[in-house]
Structure 1
Amino acid sequence: MRKKQSFILIILCVVSMLVVSACSQESTGGEGESNGNDDKVYKLKIGTALTDSDPIYQGLVDFKEQVSERTDGKVEFEIFGSGSLGEDNDLLEQAKVGTNVAVLVDSGRLADMVPEIGILAAPYIVNNFDEANKVAKSDLFKEWSDKLAEEHNLKILSFNWYQGERHILANKPVMTPEDLKGVKLRTPDAPIWLETMKSMGATPAGMAWSEVYPAIQQGVIDGAEAQHPATYGAKLYEVISDISKTRHFQLITGLVTSDQWMKDLPKGYQEIILEEALKAGEKASHNTEDMLADFEQKMIDEGVEVHEVDVEPFKKSTEAVYDKFDGYQELREEIQTIIQE
């Protein structure tokens, strides 16, 4: 009788343990979906070419702090400015193989993997942040983003980090495309950027942003093209005399990391990161808009001459760029439809 009672007791204990285990699994949502009740700390290194004076860099700091607060310190970001973590393309390659890195990058660099996404880096494709942001939130952009994750293991956390209009930086005024003949300008080493500079009349030179200052100083290049916050942050006002406001690109960028790294996080943490990336990008972009005039005035105070330019000749010269890339004329029409909706 005692043996029978003992056997029944053992069976009840086993059943009880199984029930508790099942309930625990259900409460956490299963593997990869818990809200992070364990003691593990997830770390991510974020690289950017920007300096800490840039409102976008400051937005990354806000992003880091909000995620840390909402995850009780279980998700830690470390920010590396001025390109100190590595060149953008190198960081993308690291993220593709699952390394815990992220990079703030333009769509031109992503176009090597998903060609369609490069249209956002095309000349005069949008007129301001609101238009660019509308495209970045569209179903069309989601298709590109999903393809990037599925085929290249790259996850876009948000693509609403607006860095401003890009202009020509040189040691002479550039008022027409003819003024760029024989001028060697730095631009990011991506096909859409290089073709745009060619179409505007310049000789493009792809190089890392951190190399631009000494390259101009030493006469390796004649100038560059960039947005005001980056120009000021890199102190290029010390090695150029003129900024010609061609507004050829509206620079909107995205925060990109390893899709596998994201999937390895508890589900709750994934949601927090995506929510805070959108919030931080939006806030930083509006701060950028508010500070553009201030950056311009600071460079004028440093002795740089800023020239208002008739952009129509530049728009006309860059029309040829859309014929260089398959489907870009059609994509431009789709984007105009999205903007007007």
Structure 2
Amino acid sequence: MKKPLIFFAACAILLSANTLGAQKKASGKKNYKLVLRMSHVFAPNEQLTKSLTIVCDNIAKRTNGAIEIQQYPQGQLATYKDGVEQVVQGAKFISVEDPSYLGDYVADFNALVGPMLYSNFDQYEYLIRTDLVKRMIKEVEDKHRIKVLALDYIFGFRSLMTNKVIKTPADLKGMKIRVPGSQLFINTLNAMGASATPLPFSETISAVQQGVVDGLEGTMDAYGVNGSSEVAKKMALTNHFLGTCGVYINADLFNSIPKEYQIIIQEEFTKGAAHMISEVSKNYNTAKAKLESQGITFNEVDHDAFAKAVAPVYANMKGTTPGIVDKFRAELAKMPKK
């Protein structure tokens, strides 16, 4: 009789332990709370900030407040290289930056957002979903613990904003143009004929007013809302970069989040990118017309001349896979025609 009693006692102990474990797990989920700070340089009334506000609100709602993302626009917290470094170091932090800042870790990201590579949003959207770019995303996560939640918070094509009509690279000779502190931006604007001048955006408008720089570069979406149109009255439609941001979080931190919340976070950032692209596309002509009514003028440029001028930027990219730009272009050639 002793053996059955021992068996049933052992089962009772095991069942009790499993029950306590399940209760502890359930209790842990119930009490789970994570506050993440999210940083970028965009103004509160720019579309990226608006779209990310919706993302944060939806995540908080769908997780019943378990995941709280606090958004800090206009460079209130670390941005650019420093922001991505926060992610690498494992901070409870989300960095929203141009993918070229991932180029410090996996150099091919510099080529992915290189100059004069795209003529429309759809091309970029197609390319980032190819196996080629998926391998880059996996590499930056595996080697550097950067989880890429999105690469396509697209805010438009970047063009030059000055007080002089710019049509060719020769027109930029001797002009100081503000750029963010990305080596890709610096190299590209220098190749275009300007003298690239890295500055925090918080200092840029006053720098143009005071003649420290002769202009800046940016998108139509930003032009009318971040103060640029107050100091630079002409936009040369160079479209030298597709303006886009990625969303990055530390991979180990993300993996520590309960699975159901991971799914929600990913879904909402994916939907937020689609929302932003839709809004930017829809509002482009309206924004341009509004600026024209305020006396801002726009002009086309010699795109072939600028494309030729920036070609060496790709050749001089350090650490990229040999022929990576040709591989990107080959992938784009496979894109189905609409």
State the TM-score, normalized to the length of structure 1: 0.90
Range that drifts further, 141-150 or 34-43: 34-43
Distance 1:245 1:328, change over 3 A: farther
* Mapped contact 1:187–1:204 kept (Cα < 8 A): yes
Pairing partner for 1:80 from 72, 77, 102:
72
Which residue number corresponds to residue 50 of structure 2?
58
1:69-89 CA-to-partner distances (Å, cap 9, x unmatched) read 221221111111111223322
Trace 1:225-240 onto structure 2 (pairs within 5 A). 225-240=217-232
Shift of 1:163: 1.0
Match of 1:331 in 2: 324
Query: What is the aligned residue count?
Result: 333
Tell me what 1:13 maps to: 12
After superposition, the CA RMSD in angstroms is: 2.5
Give CA-to-partner distance per residue, 1:278-333, whole Å, 9 cap, x none: 11101111211111222222222222221122312111111121211255771122
Check 1:288–1:14 CA distance in 2 against 1; reply closer, same or farther (3 A cut): same
User: 1:160 and 1:15, CA in 2 relative to 1: closer, same or farther beyond 3 A?
Assistant: same
For structure 1, which segment, 329-338 or 9-18, has the greater mean C-alpha deviation from structure 2 after superposition? 9-18
Asked whether the equivalents of residues 129 and 252 of structure 1 are also in contact (C-alpha less than 8 Å), the reply is no
Q: CA 1:204–1:8 in structure 2 vs 1: closer, same or farther (change >3 Å)?
A: closer
Please report how far the alpha carbon of residue 260 of structure 1 lies from its aligned counterpart in structure 2 after TM superposition: 2.1
Query: Is 2:333 the counterpart of 1:340?
Result: yes
Show structure 1 runs of 5+ residues with no match: 29-33
Q: Deviations over 1:237-261 (max 9, x none)?
A: 1111211111111112211122222
Letter in 1 for 2:155: Q
CA distance in 1, matches of 2:202, 2:90: 26
Give the whole-Å Cα distance in 2 for the aligned partners of 1:77 and 1:250. 27
Partner of 1:207: 199
Deviation at 1:151, TM superposition (A): 2.0
Aligned-residue sequence identity (percent) comes to: 25
Larger deviation, residues 169-178 vs 304-313: 304-313
1:151 to 143, 150, 158: 143
SS in 1 for 2:30: coil
Alignment of 1:78-157 (within 5 A): 78-157=70-149
Are the equivalent residues in 1 in contact too, given 2:80–2:181 (CA < 8 A)?
no
How many angstroms apart in 2 are the aligned matches of 1:153 and 1:312? 39
Map of 2:286 onto structure 1: 294
Deviation, structure 1 residue 215: 1.0
Unaligned residue ranges in structure 2 (runs of 5+) = none
User: How far apart are 1:232 and its partner, in Å?
Assistant: 2.0
CA distance in 1, matches of 2:230, 2:49: 22
User: Residue 305 and residue 151 in structure 1: after superposition, are their counterparts in 2 closer, same or farther (change >3 A)?
Assistant: same
Aligned equivalent of 1:31: none
TM-score w.r.t. length of structure 2: 0.91
Equivalences for 1:38-49 in 2 at 5 Å? 38-49=30-41
